[in-house]
């Protein structure tokens, strides 16, 4: 019988640890009670360079609101400093340029506004749009859609396309303004155009702060060991309690009347005979030990969380400390821009991630095979330059996205393909989706890649068109909302004018294998249901293919085949508005059809 597996580490099916992993964890826990990432290989080194860790620390790759220092300029004999300038960039780049920012996981409404508000009040449309996004996202508080709409309008009326898209969406959804589809369409049309030498200072990094950071890190590690040890002890005691309870229930006779002669009441337990009395006493003692350990566990867990908070609140380094030589940056081979019938489509690049062999989660069957076949088709049939990351950890994925910023220009196209585990977190104010690298652990978010982080990088990358093909559970959460008005029509015949209009605007779109629901891993010996359908459409296509046409064919095949398996799966296509989607399109152009 064919085995069906889902790309979700828990809930869909039980998670299993390998025996080697289990032994290693037990050894660590035993030591804690007494006392108190793998790099992936790459297929084409000449194309992608070294894909190991070491480019930058993961925390440095988050996109932050950075307030840069003013520039020192001279006018005649006078020297002056220009006002400070806000920008959105990586924490590492902000450090290098001497900027000020709040750590990604500590940023909130007030810290983000501090960076952008003054510039927005001065009339800068980009800053006005960012202030609107701050109010819309909430950042630690409830969203303020009314204020968001006001700031979006200020920027939109200056012709800022991203603000026009954002304001149109608020009108479409009736958020902060009265729902008005006509007005929403009007703003979308305006956005799509259908109607119309730096000097910075650096500060020295304090040795005292570094020492405190090291001490807190050591204490945090010790507290985590204690939490793990106590959790293990609690589990063992609960198992012992359950065993005693079962033995006692088998030996005692429960009666509603007061205990007759020869019976003893211990706590709420009524027993008779020496054996029953012994079991009851042991059970009561086990309960008392569990209660004591639960109190200690809560105390140690609170201490760990307090240490994490203190560590996160330490000032960030604003200068570049001496570092070991870094691994070589991922390099994309240059190819000529695709041209067809006088239309310049630009260069095509792809980041392809296939996560299959997990360190702590259940392994999957097909992601690497899926990713390799997608890569072959993109390179051979469509002329893509690709980076391939099999079994990638958190640092490798974020470093690759960061490297793409340096290499991709404003007329280029980027496709991001991710196959692996995905998850949703219920621990925050809002439900959030995550990609799970191979070093991710269940129920610990420390190495999970938040969809918001992915979205921030896609926003920063200068590519004109970005398409994400995500084959994982809950992949649709990369776009927090759907909007039919922000996506092209389902027509299959494309005119030259249609194509040019689609290329005139920024595109950020995700096609997910199952929206915000679990999806199947392997349904045959080679590929997942989504990947098999995707590979079939891309292989058979012979003309210019727009993303909505790709989606229509793939979705129909996936729905039909999943219904045959009695496990419905429905792909979704959504605009990634948070990454700056402005109504553009992504096109696949077969190499055979190009006039280069």
For residues 160 and 394, give the distance between their C-alpha atoms in angstroms, rounded to a whole number: 34
pLDDT at 479: 72
Q: Label residue 534 by pLDDT band (50, 70, 90).
A: very high
- Tokens found for residue 430: 């809002």
- CB neighbours of residue 324 within 10 Å: 6
Q: What is the mean pLDDT of residues 518-541?
A: 82
**Residue ranges making up the domain that contains 218:** 207-252+271-312
pLDDT at 225: 81
pLDDT at 342: 84
pLDDT at 212: 60
For residues 591 and 336, give the distance between their C-alpha atoms in angstroms, rounded to a whole number: 11
For strands 78-81 and 343-346, give the pairing.
unpaired
User: Tokens 């793990």 map to which residue?
Assistant: 228
One domain, residues 229 and 188:
no
H/E segment holding residue 352: strand 348-354
| Range with lowest mean pLDDT among 192-206, 279-293, 328-342, 548-562 | 192-206
| Range with lowest mean pLDDT among 195-209, 510-524, 555-569 | 195-209
Higher pLDDT, 512 or 428: 512
For residues 553 and 546, give the distance between their C-alpha atoms in angstroms, rounded to a whole number: 11
Report the CATH number that the domain containing residue 134 is assigned in CATH.
1.25.40.10
One domain, residues 294 and 357:
no
User: Tokens 């985590």 map to which residue?
Assistant: 224
Q: Is residue 562 part of a domain?
A: yes
pLDDT at 325: 40
One domain, residues 476 and 420:
yes
CA angle, corner 268, sides to 267 and 270, nearest 5? 95
pLDDT higher than 90, residue 302: no
Q: At what angle do helices 451-460 and 394-407 cross, to 10 degrees?
A: 20
What is the pLDDT of the chain when averaged over all its residues?
75
One domain, residues 188 and 140:
yes
| Range with lowest mean pLDDT among 105-119, 161-175, 479-493 | 479-493
- Tokens found for residue 272: 């008779």
Helices assigned H by DSSP within 346-482: 367-382, 394-407, 451-460
316: helix, coil or strand?
A: coil
pLDDT at 20: 36
Q: Label residue 45 by pLDDT band (50, 70, 90).
A: very low
Phi and psi angles of residue 421, each rounded to the nearest 5 degrees, phi first: -70, 145
pLDDT tens-digit map of 144-185: 999 999 999 999 999 998 898 889 889 888 999 998 776 887
**Cβ contacts of residue 284 below 8 Å, gap of 6+?**
266, 267, 269
pLDDT higher than 80, residue 70: no
Higher pLDDT, 444 or 388: 388
In terms of Cβ atoms closer than 10 Å to its own Cβ (0-12, 13-18, 19+), residue 484 is exposed
Rounded to two decimals, the pTM is 0.59
pLDDT higher than 50, residue 329: yes
One domain, residues 96 and 150:
yes
264: helix, coil or strand?
A: strand
For strands 422-425 and 432-435, give the pairing.
antiparallel
Q: What is the mean pLDDT of residues 244-251?
A: 72
Q: What's the distance, Cα to Cα, between the start and end of the chain in Å? A: 50
One domain, residues 484 and 370:
yes
Q: Which residues are paired to 89 by β-bridges?
A: 64
For residues 122 and 83, give the distance between their C-alpha atoms in angstroms, rounded to a whole number: 12
- Tokens found for residue 47: 């194309």
One domain, residues 240 and 152:
no
Helices assigned H by DSSP within 524-590: 529-540, 547-564
Q: Which residues are paired to 363 by β-bridges?
A: none
One domain, residues 477 and 549:
yes
Number of domains in the chain: 3
For residues 551 and 545, give the distance between their C-alpha atoms in angstroms, rounded to a whole number: 10
Distance of CA 287 to the CA centre of its chain: 41
For residues 446 and 220, give the distance between their C-alpha atoms in angstroms, rounded to a whole number: 14
Report the CATH number that the domain containing residue 440 is assigned in CATH.
3.40.50.1460
370: helix, coil or strand?
A: helix
Could you tell me the CA-to-CA distances from 7 to 489, 563, 577 in Å, in that order? 31, 18, 26
User: Tokens 């959804």 map to which residue?
Assistant: 173
Q: Is residue 33 part of a domain?
A: no
One domain, residues 475 and 567:
yes
- Residue at which a domain ends, from 284, 312, 340: 312
One domain, residues 409 and 447:
yes
424: helix, coil or strand?
A: strand
pLDDT at 156: 93
- Residue at which a domain ends, from 182, 206, 230: 206
Q: For residue 286, which of 235, 342, 351 has the smallest C-alpha distance?
A: 235
Could you tell me the CA-to-CA distances from 41 to 389, 416, 527 in Å, in that order? 8, 19, 21
pLDDT at 41: 35
Q: Label residue 320 by pLDDT band (50, 70, 90).
A: very low
- CB neighbours of residue 85 within 10 Å: 18
Q: Label residue 436 by pLDDT band (50, 70, 90).
A: very high
**Using the 8-state DSSP alphabet, how is residue 257 labeled?**
S
One domain, residues 446 and 485:
yes
Ramachandran assignment for 376, one of left (phi > 0), alpha (psi -120 to 50 degrees), beta (any other): alpha
Q: Is residue 99 part of a domain?
A: yes
Q: Is residue 60 part of a domain?
A: no
Q: Which residues are paired to 101 by β-bridges?
A: none
One domain, residues 170 and 221:
no
pLDDT at 301: 81
In the chain, pLDDT over 90 holds for what percent of residues?
27
- Tokens found for residue 214: 């090291």
Q: Is residue 338 part of a domain?
A: no
pLDDT higher than 60, residue 319: no
Q: Is residue 586 part of a domain?
A: no
Please say whether the beta carbons of 547 and 509 come within 8 A: yes
| Range with lowest mean pLDDT among 165-169, 338-342, 393-397, 524-528 | 524-528
Q: Label residue 240 by pLDDT band (50, 70, 90).
A: confident
Winning range, highest mean pLDDT, from 125-139, 246-260, 504-518, 534-548: 534-548
pLDDT tens-digit map of 184-216: 877 877 887 654 432 222 233 345 456 666 776
- What does 102-152 look like in DSSP terms, one character per residue? --GGG--HHHHHHHHHHHHHTT-HHHHHHHHHHHHH-SSS---HHHHHHHH
For residues 337 and 339, give the distance between their C-alpha atoms in angstroms, rounded to a whole number: 6
Winning range, highest mean pLDDT, from 185-189, 377-381, 491-495, 565-569: 377-381
**Cβ contacts of residue 357 below 8 Å, gap of 6+?**
363, 391, 438
Q: Is residue 156 part of a domain?
A: yes
pLDDT at 165: 86
- CB neighbours of residue 512 within 10 Å: 30
Q: Is residue 583 part of a domain?
A: no
User: Tokens 């025996």 map to which residue?
Assistant: 19
pLDDT at 56: 62
For strands 385-390 and 348-354, give the pairing.
parallel
pLDDT higher than 60, residue 594: no
pLDDT at 46: 38
pLDDT at 341: 78
């Amino acid at each position: 019988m064919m085995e069906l597996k889902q790309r979700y580490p828990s809930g869909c099916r039980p998670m299993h640890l390998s025996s080697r992993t289990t032994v290693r964890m037990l050894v660590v826990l035993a030591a804690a009670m007494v006392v108190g990432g793998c790099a992936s290989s790459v297929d084409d080194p000449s194309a992608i360079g070294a894909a190991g860790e070491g480019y930058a620390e993961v925390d440095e790759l988050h996109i932050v609101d950075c307030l840069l220092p003013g520039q020192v300029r001279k006018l005649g004999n006078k020297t002056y400093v220009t006002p400070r300038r806000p920008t959105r960039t990586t924490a590492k780049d902000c450090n290098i340029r001497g900027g000020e920012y709040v750590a990604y996981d500590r940023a909130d409404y007030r810290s983000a506004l501090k960076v952008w508000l003054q510039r927005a009040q001065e009339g800068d449309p980009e800053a006005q749009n960012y202030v609107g996004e701050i109010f819309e996202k909430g950042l630690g508080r409830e969203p303020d859609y009314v204020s968001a709409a006001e700031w979006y309008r200020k920027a939109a009326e200056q012709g800022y396309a991203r603000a026009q898209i954002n304001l149109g969406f608020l009108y479409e959804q009736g958020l902060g303004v009265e729902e008005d589809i006509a007005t929403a369409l009007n703003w979308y049309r305006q956005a799509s155009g259908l109607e119309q030498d730096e000097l910075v200072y650096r500060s020295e990094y304090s040795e005292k702060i570094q020492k405190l950071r090291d001490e807190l890190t050591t204490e945090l590690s010790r507290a985590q060991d204690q939490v793990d040890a106590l959790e293990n002890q609690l589990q063992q005691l609960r198992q012992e309690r359950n065993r005693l309870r079962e033995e006692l229930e088998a030996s005692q006779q429960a009666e509603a009347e007061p205990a007759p002669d020869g019976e003893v009441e211990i706590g709420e337990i009524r027993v008779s005979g020496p054996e029953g009395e012994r079991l009851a006493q042991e059970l009561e003692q086990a309960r008392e030990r569990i209660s004591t350990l639960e109190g200690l566990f809560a105390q140690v867990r609170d201490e760990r969380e307090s240490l994490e908070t203190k560590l996160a609140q330490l000032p960030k380094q604003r200068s570049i400390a001496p570092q070991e030589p870094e691994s070589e940056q991922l390099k994309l081979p240059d190819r000529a821009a695709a041209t067809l019938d006088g239309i310049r489509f630009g260069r095509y690049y792809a980041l392809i991630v296939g996560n299959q062999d997990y360190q702590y989660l259940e392994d999957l069957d097909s992601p690497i095979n899926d990713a390799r076949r997608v890569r072959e088709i993109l390179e051979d049939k469509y002329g893509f330059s690709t980076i391939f990351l099999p079994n990638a950890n958190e640092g490798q994925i974020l470093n690759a996205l960061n490297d793409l910023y340096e290499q991709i220009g404003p007329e280029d196209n980027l496709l991001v393909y991710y196959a692996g585990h995905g998850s949703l977190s219920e621990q925050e104010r809002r439900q959030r989706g995550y990609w799970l690298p191979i070093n991710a652990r269940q129920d610990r978010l420390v190495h999970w890649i938040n969809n918001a982080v992915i979205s921030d990088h896609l926003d920063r990358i200068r590519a004109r068109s970005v398409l994400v093909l995500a084959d994982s559970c809950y992949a649709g959460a990369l776009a927090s909302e759907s909007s039919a008005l922000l996506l092209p029509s389902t027509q299959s015949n494309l005119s030259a004018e249609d194509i040019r209009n689609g290329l005139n605007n920024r595109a950020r779109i995700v096609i997910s294998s199952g929206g915000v629901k679990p999806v199947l891993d392997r349904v045959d010996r080679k590929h997942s249901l989504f990947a098999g359908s995707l590979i079939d459409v891309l292989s058979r296509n012979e003309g210019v293919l727009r993303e909505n046409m790709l989606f229509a064919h793939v979705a129909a095949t996936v729905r039909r085949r999943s219904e045959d398996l009695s496990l419905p799966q429905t792909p979704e296509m959504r605009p990634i508005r948070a990454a700056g989607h402005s109504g553009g399109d992504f096109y696949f152009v077969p190499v055979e059809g190009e006039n280069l």
